[in-house]
A and B are shown apart, each in its own frame.
Chain A
Amino acid sequence: MLLEVQDISMVFGGLAALREVSFSLAEGEILGLIGPNGAGKTTLFNVITAFLTPTQGEVRLAGKPLTGLRTSRITERGICRTFQNIRLFDQMTVEENVMVGRHCRSRAGVWPSVLRTGAQQKEEGAIREKTRELLSLVGLTGHDRELAANLPYGLQRRLEIARALAGEPRLILLDEPVAGMNDQETAEIAALIKKILGFGITILLIEHDMSMVMKVCDRLVVLNFGEKIAEGTPQEIQSDPLVIEAYLGREEGE
């Protein structure tokens, strides 16, 4: 198993945002994490990436526990993420955003950078090359020099994916990558997700768009009020009475 989430609980003050959630992901798999608003999905991402320290439980990557590691170390081990509320470096260019994403896969420190050593120059060239590649993968070629803040919303989401991919993750966490997009844009992102899978990268996907989730995911985990209420293939989930109730019970359902 590439990722194992075991008995994770996260309590904020009196509110239990996650209660003993466990599941795991196999290498190369795409798992959908779904559930109504406030179910605890983003909180789980924050726990996996050490933005939050869980009240209880353990996360393991390829068998090794991540407990106590800071976010940057977890990124180095191969988990990169995007954010539900886009968190690009708005005052940097598109290109620079992706180059920053490459940070954990490059090493030049202060002196090589100032002296412009051969190794540093080579590395910097490689960073630019990789950046070009990724920008073309997500369809941002030609926007390199624009400020991230000036990109339209849909392209910002793509840029976040490119930036996460620049860290060469083994596992990528996508938090609602198609939120607010129309059908065509959604289909394009779905295709992009398939491509990413094709590179052998494992994906954990949070998404409210059910038709897309059903289409791209191998398996689903359903959270409700911080608890895992179901796990299975899209077909199994669709007919699970608990899941239906969780969504209908909240009326809007999406």
Chain B
Amino acid sequence: MFFEQLINGITLGSIYAIVALGYTLVFGVLDIINMAHGEIFMFGAFVGMLLISYFEAPVLLALGGAVLVTAAMGLLLERLALRPLRGKKGASHLASLISTIGVSIILENLAHHLFGAGNKPFPTSFADASFTVGSTTVYLVQVIILVIAVLLMVGLSLWLRKAKAGKALRATAENLETASLLGINTGRIIVSTVVVASAMGGIAGVLVGMAFNYVNNQMGLPMGLKGLAIIILGGMGSVNGAMAGGLILGLAETFVVAYGNSGYRDAIAFVAIIVILLIRPQGIFGQALPEAKR
């Protein structure tokens, strides 16, 4: 029982981590909280669901489709709701927050009109396949999710560390102005950051569909909220923090549901926010930066 819960928790946590990485990437580079990330995640889940249940596509294809659609959504989001605000005189730090809230509401309604309300089944051929290790039952889905999640995180870390784009991205994350002085094309970095972050949201959507076997148009908000809780927990803009925070939240939720009251599962993220704000406001992996100079 304990080990099964542990595996459940790690599976869920790795999905959370991917969602949170989407927030962290955008926040790290742009200093913006993308409030539409949860809805982009939801669209990824729907695209995966459509491909799998109507076109009987294999999981990899479903993932690919979700990545394409959500990446395109990221591109549009950046063009229409973020870029016009950048460098605009008099636009406060709230402007991008508010415009992405607008996008999230539009997307949620769009999903409602396109896909209808209520749960839609997300059938995978291997939904019930499982094997036992000792006395512990492990579902194949869990293994697949974990493998994809780990590959994704390793890939992202490598990309951030090694690849040229990754280097530029990190320079941008350190300081947008310096980066553009150094001749780094910040405009392109910003677009690719939002696109990559959105695609990660899309992948997370398909993984959630696989894990829970259904999707619905209300799933964006709670997942978005959890992603936000995780980046506060792990430290705003910290990649390691997002991964660790995701695991912590996934495990905490799983064990509270297993040994406590399932109705309050979604409240855990919020409690975590408040606790972390009280005891370590910069988050587990965040650095307490001195005030920006002016």
Contacts and interface: CB of A to CB of B under 8 A. Distances in A.
Direct contact of A and B (CB under 8 A): yes
B164 interface: no
B51 to A, nearest CB: 47
Interface in B275-294: 290-291, 293-294
Contacts of A12: 290
A87 interface: yes
Contacts of B294: 83-85, 87
Interface in B252-294: 290-291, 293-294
Contacts of A85: 294
B43 to A, nearest CB: 38
Nearest to B292: A51
A52 B294 CA distance: 11
A83 to B, nearest CB: 7
Interface residues on B, range: under 10
A105 to B, nearest CB: 25
Contact of B293 (A46, A53, A91): A46
A42 interface: yes
A43 interface: yes
Nearest to B287: A13
B93 to A, nearest CB: 15
Interface majority SS on B: helix, strand, loop or mixed?
A: loop
Contacts of B90: 91
Interface in B68-119: 90
B103 to A, nearest CB: 27
Contacts of B290: 12, 52-53
A118 to B, nearest CB: 37
A52 B90 CA distance: 26
Nearest to A10: B290
Contacts of A52: 290-291
A51 B293 CA distance: 9
Interface in A41-61: 42-43, 46, 51-53
A12 B291 CA distance: 10
Nearest to A12: B290
A84 B293 CA distance: 10
A45 to B, nearest CB: 10
A51 B294 CA distance: 10
Contacts of A51: 291
Interface in B146-202: none
A43 B293 CA distance: 8
Interface in A73-116: 83-85, 87, 91
Contacts of B291: 46, 51-52
A42 B291 CA distance: 13
Interface in A155-200: none
A83 B294 CA distance: 8
Nearest to B288: A53
A240 to B, nearest CB: 28
Contacts of A42: 293
A128 B291 CA distance: 33
A174 to B, nearest CB: 16
14 contacts: A12-B290, A42-B293, A43-B293, A46-B291, A46-B293, A51-B291, A52-B290, A52-B291, A53-B290, A83-B294, A84-B294, A85-B294, A87-B294, A91-B90
**Top-4 shortest CB links A-B:** A51-B291, A52-B290, A85-B294, A52-B291
Given A42-B293, A87-B294, 10 more contacts: A12-B290, A43-B293, A46-B291, A46-B293, A51-B291, A52-B291, A53-B290, A83-B294, A85-B294, A91-B90
